[in-house]
Amino acid sequence: MHIADVHIGVTPDLNKPWSQARAQAVKDTFAALIGIAEKEQADLLLIAGDLFHSQPLKRDLKEINYLFATLSRTQVVIIAGNHDYINPSSNYNSYPWAENVTFITSSELTQAEFPWLNTVVWGLSYRSREMAEPVLDHIKAPDDGRFHILLAHGGDPKHLPLNYRQLSRAGFDYIALGHIHAPACSKELGIVNVGCPEPLERTDFGKRGYVLAEIEKGSRDIRWIPCSTAEYIPVTLEVNVHTACTELCRQFADIVSQRGRQNIYVLTITGYRDPDVEFDPEALSALGNVAQINDLSEPEYDFDKLYHEHSYDMIGTYISAFLGESEHSSLHKKALFYGIRALLNNQSR
């Protein structure tokens, strides 16, 4: 079983009405994953970094160590990521883990051997917030008849840069990655970025989960399984000159009813609205868990009417400057819209 980026201790969408419930969901889902490992009788539970969102307290470690100790068969292998990196005063340094837990604390590539599984797990932990050196570029697993698994946390320029092409030729039977919250899996190569089990921020769109993998020499059965209790869902609401705020709220209420009230929504409003209509973000937010509203709608002005009403002032002069411009020029249309809006707003003060 392969998980990563649990981020115990995080409070997603801080100060939103649902933020504390989401913080608890992160802990509850982790506990549920331990239960799944026990039910599946997994040989190994691989945790590829950022189990905690920051430096864990001793009481935090006691809680998860208790869960690990409930596993009757499973060996747990953990590395620290860039969020829960091991500094000199970290509680990770001296914590007495249960017998079935192996915490690789070194920042040097280290091997943990499990002879009864004929398996070696290679891994390394963060000792600071960043690890910019591509230290895995030239590693090679020996062809010695044992299963070799790589456990790593990274994939961007400041956090263990990874050359996936080189990794695919490194001879590992499975490569368990963390750090990137969006899941990505190359079943053919056995390189898996599992993603986070619960979404943590408004850009974590889509389902989140964990991996169950069965590995034999020459074959892999890799299953990515969703487990999150909620999703961040992007929603685009298209409006026109006939759309009133009440109608927009009805559209969004229907979406929440279909997709689920437990989910969290990022709304984008597009299109051209009646200039006299304003959409009420509080009314929309009352219908569900709304993390963000991006109102990109533009007023659909009647420029002929405005020109005749303002033919002798600045507004009429501005409109006349655009006469003859191509109606299909998006740049000129935007300039006309923004300019008229600014002039009308200034006139109303």
> Are the CB atoms for 124 and 108 separated by under 8 Å?
yes
What integer pLDDT is reported at residue 317 of this predicted model?
A: 81
How far is the C-alpha of 3 from the C-alpha of 192, rounded, in Å? 10
Q: How confident is the model at residue 326 (pLDDT cuts 50, 70, 90)?
A: low
- State mean pLDDT over 136-164: 96
What integer pLDDT is reported at residue 186 of this predicted model?
A: 86
* Residue percentage of the chain with pLDDT more than 90: 81
215/298: higher pLDDT: 215
Looking at the predicted structure, is the pLDDT value of residue 221 above 90? yes
Residue tagged 């239960």 (tokens): 35
Tokens of 152: 């790593």
Looking at the predicted structure, is the pLDDT value of residue 237 above 90? yes
What integer pLDDT is reported at residue 325 of this predicted model?
A: 58
Q: What is the pLDDT of residues 75-97, one digit of tens each?
A: 999 999 999 999 999 999 999 99
Looking at the predicted structure, is the pLDDT value of residue 26 above 80? yes
What integer pLDDT is reported at residue 171 of this predicted model?
A: 95
- State mean pLDDT over 45-53: 98
How far is the C-alpha of 5 from the C-alpha of 197, rounded, in Å? 7
Residues 13, 15, 17, 19: is their CA dihedral positive or negative? positive
- State mean pLDDT over 151-160: 97
- State mean pLDDT over 195-217: 95
Hey, what amino acid is at 249?
C
* Mean pLDDT computed over every residue of the chain: 92
Looking at the predicted structure, is the pLDDT value of residue 146 above 90? yes
The structure's pTM equals 0.87
- CA 135, distance to chain mean position in Å, is 25
What are the C-alpha distances in Å from 84 to residues 26, 89, 93? 16, 12, 12
Looking at the predicted structure, is the pLDDT value of residue 153 above 80? yes
- State mean pLDDT over 14-33: 97
Backbone φ, ψ for residue 322 (5° rounding)? -100, -5
Looking at the predicted structure, is the pLDDT value of residue 104 above 70? yes
What integer pLDDT is reported at residue 316 of this predicted model?
A: 76
187/238: higher pLDDT: 238
- State mean pLDDT over 67-82: 98
Looking at the predicted structure, is the pLDDT value of residue 219 above 80? yes
What integer pLDDT is reported at residue 309 of this predicted model?
A: 76
